[in-house]
Amino acid sequence: MSINRREFLATGATAAAGLAVTPEWPAIAGASTPAPRVALPVVIASTNGMRGVKVAYDMLMRGEDTLDAIIAGVNIQELDPADQSVGLGGLPNADGVVQLDASCMHGPTRRAGSVACLEDIATPSLVAKAIMDYTDHIMLVGDDAKRFAVDMGFRTQNLLTEKSRQDWLRWKARLNASDNWLDHDDDVKIKFHTGTINMNAVNAAGDVSSVTTTSGMSWKIPGRVGDSPIIGAGQYCDNTVGAAGSTGRGEANIKVCGAFLAVEQMRQGKTPEQALMYTMERVVAMTEKRLLDDRGRPFFDLSFYAVAKDGRFAGSCAYEGGDFAVCDASGARVQKAVYLYKANERPRGPVNGRR
């Protein structure tokens, strides 16, 4: 049964098949030993998705669709004005304007949607899904993406909260020591922020989906697009293998198509941990010298998350100390990520790897 665009916004979900008994999944293609039995469903995310993974997991347990579930999970952060990494209250670009990016993929139908440089709409993940559901396209950007969203019934609002505006003003005051703005180094820390939320899920039937949403790098050049809305970089899923996504320095991830690479490594038989570590190594290998110290270690960090079709999962980062959120039959919790380098090996260098 079809629904119109107004009903889409009201429901935020499509009809889904009933929950199946957890099957004994075969080994991923190329693996030398059978994959262990894992209790499904499983939802994983960056740590800012801690509330969201539980919401998504509960929806999966009710038999709802994997993509609907994880988009409902990331909507929590998109609509939270206290979260300055995504959606409402996100930190703005250099002009003081909040520009949002998001993308999603639905494993069972092999469809995807993406939106970039979206302004005045708090839930870019839902706009990306609307592009997937109602158009023959995959990506819309800028003013035309906003016009599409408005035509679909999305509500416009000012996304710049007072807290984020004050942070932007303080950042702006520090740009030129000779201007007429006063610095506030003693009473406030100026954040350089690359916050994003990625969430991936597999249900009891082995269907997978992925979504990534962000307000992007704070104080970015207007029009900058990171990895989050890039299918295969910020997130990717293949219903025969699994799903993966990332948070952190998008410019480093785009060059290796990290989410796609991680899924392809799982297809070839690697565990999620092995696939993510390989992807991190490729990121470092493809990083330009100005962003590496004299030992070849990156000044920036980047995190990846992956879940296989059989329910195995992992998170990874460049440096020790990272973690990620997961929810399965054992409940919602934070787990440690695998890493390339020890914490004491992190170089002291330019902020976010910029010179």
Q: Is 228 helix (H, G, I), strand (E, B) or coil?
A: coil
Helix (H) or strand (E) holding 70: helix 66-78
Helix (H) or strand (E) holding 297: none
Q: For this structure, is 196 an active site residue? A: yes
Radius of gyration of the chain (CA): 20
Place 171 in a pLDDT band, splitting at 50, 70 and 90.
Answer: confident
* Alpha-helical segments (H) within the chain: 5-11, 50-61, 66-78, 124-134, 142-151, 162-173, 250-254, 258-267, 272-285
Instruction: Determine how many CB atoms are found less than 10 A away from the CB of residue 35.
Output: 17
The class (CATH top level) of 42-173+183-343 is: alpha beta
For the full predicted model, state whether its pTM sits above 0.75.
yes
Cβ atoms 91, 84 nearer than 8 A: yes
User: CA 163 to CA 340: how far, in whole Å?
Assistant: 35
**pLDDT given at position 27:** 38
- Percent of the chain at pLDDT exceeding 70: 82
User: CA 302 to CA 248: how far, in whole Å?
Assistant: 4
**Any bridge partners for residue 340, and if so which?**
none
pLDDT beyond 50 at 71: yes
Instruction: Determine how many CB atoms are found less than 10 A away from the CB of residue 173.
Output: 16
Q: pLDDT tens digit string along 232-285?
A: 999 999 999 999 999 999 999 999 999 999 999 999 999 999 999 999 999 999
User: CA 1 to CA 331: how far, in whole Å?
Assistant: 34
- Percent of the chain at pLDDT exceeding 90: 75
Residue spans of the domains in the chain: they are: 42-173+183-343
pLDDT beyond 60 at 22: no
User: CA 174 to CA 187: how far, in whole Å?
Assistant: 13
Cβ atoms 102, 128 nearer than 8 A: yes
Catalytic residue among 123, 196, 212, 213: 196
Place 172 in a pLDDT band, splitting at 50, 70 and 90.
Answer: confident
